Amino acid sequence: MGLHQVSIHQEHQQTKISVKSKTLLLIIGIIFIGANLRAPITAVGPLISSIRDSLGISNILAGTLTTVPLLAFALLSPFAPKLSRKYGMEGTLFVSLILLTAGIVLRTIPGVGTLIPKADDHKSEKIMTDLYKDLDKNVERIKHIFEKAGSALPVGFTSQDVNVEAPRLFENGLDIMFLRMIKEVSMGLYTLNMGKAYREDIINLYKDLTAITQGCYNKCTQYLLEKGMLTRPPFVPMPKTNEFINDMKYLSGLNLLSNARHINTIELSSLFHGMESNNLGMTLMFAFTQVAEAKEVKQYFHKGMEISKKILKQFGEILLEDDITPTISSVGNVSSSKISPFSDKFMLYCNSLLCNLSLGGNAFGFAFSLRNDLQLKALLAAKDVADYANDGNKLMVKNGWLEKPPATNLER
């Protein structure tokens, strides 16, 4: 009998120790869970300015985001005791952790909560989202360079220049077409500026940005080719022997008594690129004309559309003279929306980039064409674009939208 009582006493002591151990582990678990809950819930506050600028939301809406966790606690706390009694403390905490983990993972899914909600498909969305993430990292890097030099930060563009609530303006691949052209401009600008840089950190910056841009340009090109939206340049027969120019007539295209020679591959490449870029430029100018707020800005974009039409006609006629079909890409289409996703300031800046691309293309055509009539046409097209670009600069100055580059000395 005494042995039986001793056995019962020992089992009771072991049970008490087991209960105490489970309770202690539960308390430690709750402490660790609480510590891990803090980061994903309280991280909104310190990042609120970045979230506001990235999503283009108002200060009021941004402030509301910080109160969402508190509201969730207030609304769900009354149900916590009932759930723990029904499913047990461990089960309730386990399910809560699963839901919390799902929420954290959801934040990292490409396209969720970004400025890319109106992409055509997942692949185009990923192209834009990946670029956004790559460039966003370098924004802080550029800010640090300015701050370290003691310079004021450029204003650039803010959330006020983007309306994420606007209906879709670009449809059927026009967004990727636009992005591809912007990356083409970026490649040229980064390379040009790297050639002017001497500081190693600046050179490395342009080197990294060039790599990002080249990667994005290739993704855009391959995407558009897969979709059948990008027209390849005409195929030409490969030469079997090497030849040299031995007749001055090769350089002439203005002789009224004889026909000009057929264009060569370099000239064809320049003309094809000019038609491709002006075809897209004409479509973008149509879109910007449709949604621009200021009347004078609308009229300016419409003028750009007419210039693109003129260049398309001139370059197309040159190809037709050589029995080459002037095929150009289907660049997508513009929706019927009259609500702009961009400010007039932002659209004018984009237009300025397109003008620079056109000027560069015409300069290339002038420099590398060996027919003097093609050189003249490239020069005349460049003059039209240069005058148009200058009108755009005047419009930006008039509205206070053109930032002044740093002066070489303090103005008195």
Is residue 77 very low, low, confident or very high in pLDDT (cuts 50, 70, 90)?
confident
Q: Within this chain, do residues 392 and 328 fall inside the same structural domain, yes or no? A: yes
**CA-based torsion, 192, 352, 158, 122: positive or negative:** negative
Q: Shortest CA distance to 167 belongs to which of 112, 117, 110?
A: 117
Rounded to whole angstroms, the Cα distance separating 346 from 56 reads 14
In a domain, 234, yes or no: no
Please return the burial class of 353, using the count of CB atoms within 10 Å of its CB with bins 0-12, 13-18 and 19+. Answer: middle
Q: Within this chain, do residues 49 and 24 fall inside the same structural domain, yes or no? A: yes
Distance of CA 111 to the CA centre of its chain: 12
The predicted structure's pLDDT at residue 113: 36
Q: What share of the chain in percent tops pLDDT 70?
A: 73
Q: Within this chain, do residues 61 and 196 fall inside the same structural domain, yes or no? A: no
Number of domains comprising the chain: 3
Q: Within this chain, do residues 148 and 80 fall inside the same structural domain, yes or no? A: no
Q: Within this chain, do residues 291 and 335 fall inside the same structural domain, yes or no? A: yes
Contact present, 352 and 185 (Cβ < 8 Å): no
Is residue 46 very low, low, confident or very high in pLDDT (cuts 50, 70, 90)?
low
The predicted structure's pLDDT at residue 320: 93
In a domain, 162, yes or no: no
How many contiguous H segments (helices) and E segments (strands) does the chain have?
12, 2
In a domain, 279, yes or no: yes
Length of the chain: 412
**CA-based torsion, 79, 84, 85, 86: positive or negative:** positive
Directed axis angle between helix 2-42 and helix 89-108, to 10°? Answer: 20
Rounded to whole angstroms, the Cα distance separating 52 from 60 reads 10
Give pLDDT tens digits for 142-199: 999 989 888 888 888 888 899 888 888 988 888 999 999 999 999 988 988 999 999 9
Which tops the pLDDT comparison, 307 or 50?
307
* Residue 97: domain span: 2-108
Beta-carbon contacts of residue 151 (< 8 Å; ≥ 6 apart)? 406
Q: Within this chain, do residues 255 and 362 fall inside the same structural domain, yes or no? A: yes
Is residue 111 very low, low, confident or very high in pLDDT (cuts 50, 70, 90)?
very low
Whole-prediction pTM value?
Answer: 0.70
Give pLDDT tens digits for 1-27: 454 454 554 555 555 555 566 666 666
Q: Within this chain, do residues 263 and 184 fall inside the same structural domain, yes or no? A: no
Q: Within this chain, do residues 287 and 182 fall inside the same structural domain, yes or no? A: no
The predicted structure's pLDDT at residue 401: 93
Q: What share of the chain in percent tops pLDDT 90?
A: 42
Give pLDDT tens digits for 237-285: 899 999 999 988 899 887 777 788 899 999 999 999 999 999 999 999 9
